[in-house]
Amino acid sequence: MRALLIACLTLLLTIISGEGYGQTQNIYVCNQGSATVSIISTKTNEITATVDLKKLGFSANAKPHYAIAEPDGSFWYITMIGENKVLKFNRDNELVASTEFEVPGLMTMDPNSDLLYVGRSMSAVNPPQSFGIIRRSDMELLQEVDLFFGRPHAIATIPETNWVFIASLSSNQFLSVNTETEELDLKDLDGMNNVIVNFAISPDKKTMVATGQVTGKLLVFDITDPASPQLTETISVNAEPWHPVYSADGMYVYFANKGANSVTVVDMEAKKVDAVIEGKGLAQPHGAGLSADGKYLYISNNNMKMSDMNDHSSHGKPGTLVIIDTKTREIVKVLEIGMNPTGLGTNVQ
């Protein structure tokens, strides 16, 4: 009996520490320029695998853009702009299913449902005015929901609800959609077009933030009534804020500033910038993700700009994944990954 108790306690501690098979946390980084996906373990902060999409029969111009994963790590998904597809992989990084979807960009999902919501790529000049609903279990495209505006991009959903938010790049608007009741609410924002890059939902599901590429603002919305989001704060940040992510306790929001080669930390209680992080490896920072314990922040970096007028080789430079200690706000590691890394995702969300 004593041996059995010890074994059970050991198993429990293993799961809590994130070392259990189902709780292993990976960071999946899409390398848009090299048609690969880099997989990094948050336990070791090392690259554990690289999925080469070309070896799976896709073109060198597949342009994998964004990744998202099931919380238990059983499956993960990527969008491919160049192939007009959304792919599904298992935990062993084997391709198990795919679906056709024109110029897919960002994705969001409710882990408690079987649905994956997919927006359109920012790089598409005239994408369809709709977002997609895919059933994750068999990857069937169930519906393309028509919208009132062009160039849909930013997308988020409130867990355990049917509410999806999607914003336009071409107009200062976003839509609240209840995918079950088909209730809609179009929100017009005052002033110049923010060009909203993406949303993030707070852990308590009461607040949503949006990053404004053109205005350099973090927009804060009260979504206690998802049918009618209310703008409550506008926070000035560095140039071109990109993909935001909330800390697990809801106290902070982190995001890259692509136009300033920096990372911003916003205190969500004080509603002000708490820190700006700069340093080695931050070069057109793009995606953001956190380790499950909140210790590390992961930032992908395009690294696509020429360093000087005579440097014609910068477009051949690998991108980076910058790893930041969230307590000290210091860069602790820089990993070279594939070309032009863009969106990243993780399990254990």
Topology of the domain comprising 25-346 = Methylamine Dehydrogenase; Chain H (2.130.10)
Q: What percent of the chain has pLDDT over 70?
A: 90
Sign of CA dihedral 93, 94, 96, 97: positive
Q: What is the pLDDT of residue 8?
A: 43
pLDDT(310) > 60? no
- Percent of all residues in the chain with a pLDDT value above 90, rounded to a whole number: 88
**Quick one: tokens of 28?**
């999946």
Residues ≥6 apart with Cβ < 8 Å to 202: 208, 209, 246, 250, 268
Report the distance separating Cα 300 and Cα 335, nearest Å: 10
- Kindly report, residue by residue over 57-90, the tens digit of the pLDDT: 999 999 999 999 999 999 999 999 999 999 999 9
SS3 content of the chain, % helix, strand, coil (to 5): 5, 50, 45
Q: Residue type for 211, please? A: T
pLDDT given for residue 315 in this prediction: 56
**35 has a pLDDT exceeding 70:** yes
Q: Which of 100, 55, 57 is nearest to 81 (CA)?
A: 100
pLDDT value, residue 5: 42
What's the rounded mean pLDDT across residues 239-248? 98
What one-letter code names the amino acid at 316? G
For all residues of the chain together, what is the average pLDDT? 91
pLDDT tens digit sequence for 95-105: 999 999 999 99
Mean pLDDT of 221-236: 97
Confidence band, pLDDT 50/70/90 cuts, at residue 311: very low
53 falls in which pLDDT band (50, 70, 90)?
very high
User: In angstroms, rounded to a whole number, what is the distance separating the alpha carbons of residues 320 and 316?
Assistant: 13
pLDDT of residue 125: 86
Position 27 scores a pLDDT of 98
Phi (first) and psi of residue 40, to 5 degrees: -120, 135
Average pLDDT (279-286) is 98
pLDDT score, position 305: 78
Q: Give the residue from 33, 126, 27 showing the smallest Cα distance to 69.
A: 27
Closest by CA position to 294, among listed 14, 113, 50, 42:
42
| Separation CA 20–CA 305 (nearest Å) | 41
Estimate to the nearest angstrom the gap between the alpha carbon of 82 and the chain centroid. Answer: 19
Q: How far is CA 77 from CA 93, 223, 283, in A?
A: 10, 27, 26
Q: How confident is the model at residue 349 (pLDDT cuts 50, 70, 90)?
A: low
Question: pLDDT value at position 63?
Answer: 98
Q: What pLDDT does 309 receive?
A: 32
Place of tokens 């049917």: 162
Structure tokens at 22: 């189902």
Query: 22 versus 191: which is more confidently predicted?
Result: 191
| Strand 64-69 relative to strand 46-52, pairing | unpaired
The stretch 115-144 carries a mean pLDDT of 96
Residue 142 confidence (pLDDT): 97
Residue 313 pLDDT greater than 70, yes or no:
no
Cβ atoms < 10 Å from Cβ of 233: 16
pLDDT of residue 127: 96
Structure tokens that stand for 153 in this block: 């991009």
Work out the pLDDT band at 23, boundaries 50, 70, 90.
Answer: low
Confidence check: pLDDT of 340 > 80? yes
pLDDT higher than threshold 50 for residue 26: yes
